[in-house]
C-alpha cells in the first residue's frame, strides 16, 4: 500500500510538471507569435504618376498571401492599369496588358480564382484595394480573380460594392496618384490612351515604423 501511495505521489508530480511545461510552452508560443506580428509587409505600386503604398489585411489571408506571392514573383511588373473610370476606380493586374495587343486587356486569366473573403469591417472606402471578378451570372460564389484588382478612387467610397467584391488592402500613401491615373484620357472601353504601367515591390517593416511614417493605425 505505501508503495502504491508513493507511485501516486510521483505520478501527481509528473502531472504537475507536465502541466507546467505545457503552459510554459504555450506562453513561449504566444510570445513568439506576438514578436512575429510586430512586422508587416508593405506593397508599393509605382507608376509614371507616382507611388501608391498599400497595406494588406490579415483578415483576408488568402488574398494577402496570393497578392504577395505574385508581387515577389514579379508578375505585376510591366502590367498596366487597363481600365480607369474617373470618380469610381482604377483597375489593373491583367497579364494580357503586357503584350502589344490592346484589345485583349482585361480578358486575361491567371488560371485560378480565390474564394471570397468578405468582411463587414473592410469597406470600399477611398483607396481600398479589392479583387476584380467575373459577374454573378457565371460566378455566383463571387470568387475573386487570381490577379486582377482595382483601387477605389471615389472620395466618398463605393459602398454599393461592399460584400460584393473582396476588399483586401488599403492605400495609405499616394491617394493623389489614384486621382491622377483616373483622370487620364481614355478610349470607349475605358482603357487609357497612353499605357500606365506599374512595377510592384514588397518590403517588411515594423508596424510601429509604418504607423509613424504613414499614420496607419493597426487594429488592436
54-79 pLDDT, tens digit per residue, is 999 999 999 999 999 999 999 999 99
Q: What is the pLDDT of residues 130-171, one digit of tens each?
A: 999 999 999 999 999 999 999 999 999 999 999 999 999 999
Domain count, the chain: 1
The pTM assigned to this predicted structure is 0.83
Cβ atoms 96, 195 nearer than 8 A: no
Q: Which helix (H) or strand (E) holds 59?
A: none
- Tell me what the mean pLDDT of segment 198-210 comes to: 97
Region of 75 on the Ramachandran plot (φ > 0 left; ψ -120 to 50 alpha; else beta):
alpha
* Residue 25 domain-assigned (yes or no): no
CATH number of the structural domain spanning residue 91: 2.40.100.10
Q: How far apart are CA 87 and CA 79, in angstroms?
A: 22
pLDDT, position 3: 38
Region of 171 on the Ramachandran plot (φ > 0 left; ψ -120 to 50 alpha; else beta):
beta
Map grid coordinates 481614355 to a residue.
186
* Residue 13 domain-assigned (yes or no): no
Domain that holds residue 130: 40-214
* Residue 21 domain-assigned (yes or no): no
pLDDT, position 101: 87
* Residue 3 domain-assigned (yes or no): no
* Residue 64 domain-assigned (yes or no): yes
Amino acid at each position: 500500500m505505501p508503495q502504491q501511495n508513493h507511485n501516486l505521489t510521483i505520478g501527481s508530480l509528473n502531472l504537475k510538471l507536465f502541466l507546467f511545461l505545457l503552459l510554459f510552452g504555450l506562453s513561449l508560443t504566444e510570445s513568439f507569435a506576438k514578436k512575429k506580428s510586430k512586422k508587416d509587409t508593405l506593397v508599393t505600386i509605382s507608376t509614371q504618376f507616382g507611388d501608391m503604398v498599400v497595406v494588406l489585411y490579415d483578415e483576408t489571408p488568402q488574398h494577402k498571401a496570393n497578392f504577395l506571392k505574385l508581387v515577389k514573383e514579379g508578375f505585376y511588373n510591366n502590367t498596366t492599369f487597363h481600365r480607369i473610370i474617373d470618380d469610381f476606380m482604377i483597375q489593373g493586374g491583367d497579364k494580357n496588358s503586357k503584350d502589344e495587343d490592346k484589345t485583349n486587356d482585361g480578358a486575361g486569366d491567371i488560371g485560378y480564382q480565390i474564394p471570397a473573403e468578405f468582411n463587414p469591417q473592410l469597406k470600399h472606402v477611398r483607396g481600398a484595394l479589392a479583387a476584380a471578378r467575373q459577374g454573378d451570372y457565371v460566378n455566383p460564389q463571387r470568387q475573386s480573380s487570381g490577379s486582377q484588382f482595382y483601387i477605389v478612387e471615389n472620395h466618398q467610397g463605393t459602398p454599393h460594392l461592399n460584400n460584393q467584391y473582396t476588399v483586401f488592402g488599403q492605400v495609405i500613401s499616394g491617394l493623389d496618384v489614384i486621382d491622377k491615373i483616373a483622370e487620364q484620357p481614355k478610349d470607349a472601353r475605358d482603357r487609357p490612351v497612353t499605357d500606365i504601367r506599374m512595377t510592384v515591390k514588397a518590403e517588411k517593416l515594423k508596424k510601429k515604423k509604418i504607423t509613424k511614417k504613414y499614420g496607419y493605425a493597426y487594429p488592436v
